Structure 1
Amino acid sequence: MRALIHWIPFFIYFFAGTILITHNRLWERFPASGQHFTIATLFVYLTAIDWLCLTPSMFNFSSANKLLFYFHGVPFNIIPLQGLSQEFFLNVIMTIPLGIYLYLINNKMPWERAILYGFLFSLFIESNQFVCDLLFHIGRVADVDDLISNTLGTTIGFAVMIMLDQTFFHHIIKQFMLIGEKSDKLNT
């Protein structure tokens, strides 16, 4: 029973995401099958991020020895790039899809905003890891390197989509964009 307490953050965000998607009626607002694919895979992606970042730590990829600080027994790193580890590169790969989804949601988004959203998403994850470890002891480390790697991954994903959208893939990508009459009015 005690072990279930560690899973509370995961379930809170899972149910919150489910409610947001169903409450906003995204399925109805974006009726094309490609758009349904984007919405469904975005939900799966965010659930995977939730599972990877806010569940009790079952594995540790960190291979770099880092000087960690502690607040009430909760570890965190505020010194950037003490040593690159496998975890850094895995975080870059983990957030490339976020950049892709940002592009599919708004392909007219300026670079700066996409980078800011990547940073804010990462800050949200890291601050949640810190608070959830403090409250629920999930065994996570809030790490400034994750802010850097996650923002980098988001930027790479967004840049790849900009480049691909300027090629013959444009017609394929367009089918997956969350653009419709209602959303076009919101973007103008």
Structure 2
Amino acid sequence: MRALIHWIPFFIYFFAGTILITHNHLWERFSSKSQHFTITTLFIYLTAIDWLCLTPTMFNFNSANKLLFYFHGAPFNIIPLQGLSEEFFLNVIMTVPFGIYLYLINHQMPFTHAILYGFLFSFFIESNQFVCDLLFHIGRVADVDDLISNTLGTTIGFAVMIMLDQTVFHHIIKQFMLIGGKSDKLNN
């Protein structure tokens, strides 16, 4: 029973995400199969992020040796780029899809806003890791390097979509965008 306590953050965010997606009636608002694919894979992606970041540590990548600080037993790093490891680059890869989804949700978003959303998404993850480690002892480290790598990954994903959307792939990408929903048609 005690081990289940460590999983509380995962389940809270999983159920919150499920409620948000069903409450907003996204499936009805966006009716094409391509848009359903975007919604479904976005939910799967966010669930995977939830699992990777807010569950008890089950695996460990080779991390750089870092000077960590502790607050009531919860570790955190506030000194950026003490050393790069594979974890840094895996975090970049992990958040590239977030940039792609940002583009599919709002392709007219200014590039600077995409960077800001990437930072806020990363800050949300890191602050939750810190709080959840304090409350539920999930064994995570809030790390400023993750803020950097996650923001970079989001930026790369968004930039790639901008470039791809200016090529022959434009018509394919447009099918997966969350535009043309019922509320959009009512406003026009």
TM-score (norm 1): 0.97
CA distance in 2, matches of 1:27, 1:181: 10
Match of 2:57 in 1: 57
CA distance in 2, matches of 1:158, 1:145: 20
Quick check: 1:14 aligned with 2:14? yes
Identity of aligned residues (%): 88
Change (3 A) 1:39 1:69: same
CA distance in 2, matches of 1:115, 1:100: 12
Deviations 1:126-163 (A, max 9, x none): 00000000000000000000000000000000000000
CA distance in 2, matches of 1:144, 1:37: 33
- How far residue 39 of structure 1 moved from its aligned partner, in angstroms, is 0.0
CA distance in 2, matches of 1:181, 1:103: 16
Match of 1:167 in 2: 167
Give the RMSD, CA atoms, in angstroms.
1.5
Pairing of 1:1-188 with structure 2 (within 5 A):
1-182=1-182, 184=184
- For structure 1, which runs of at least 5 residues remain unmatched after alignment? none
- How far residue 181 of structure 1 moved from its aligned partner, in angstroms, is 4.8
CA distance in 2, matches of 1:170, 1:184: 21
CA distance in 1, matches of 2:43, 2:25: 13
SS of equivalent residue, structure 1 residue 79: coil
TM-score (norm 2): 0.97
**Counterpart code for 1:141:** V
- For structure 2, which runs of at least 5 residues remain unmatched after alignment? none
- How far residue 62 of structure 1 moved from its aligned partner, in angstroms, is 3.8
SS of equivalent residue, structure 2 residue 70: strand
Number of corresponding residues: 188
Deviations 1:9-65 (A, max 9, x none): 000000000000000000000000000000000000000000000000011114210
- How far residue 184 of structure 1 moved from its aligned partner, in angstroms, is 4.0
SS of equivalent residue, structure 1 residue 98: helix
CA distance in 2, matches of 1:170, 1:186: 25
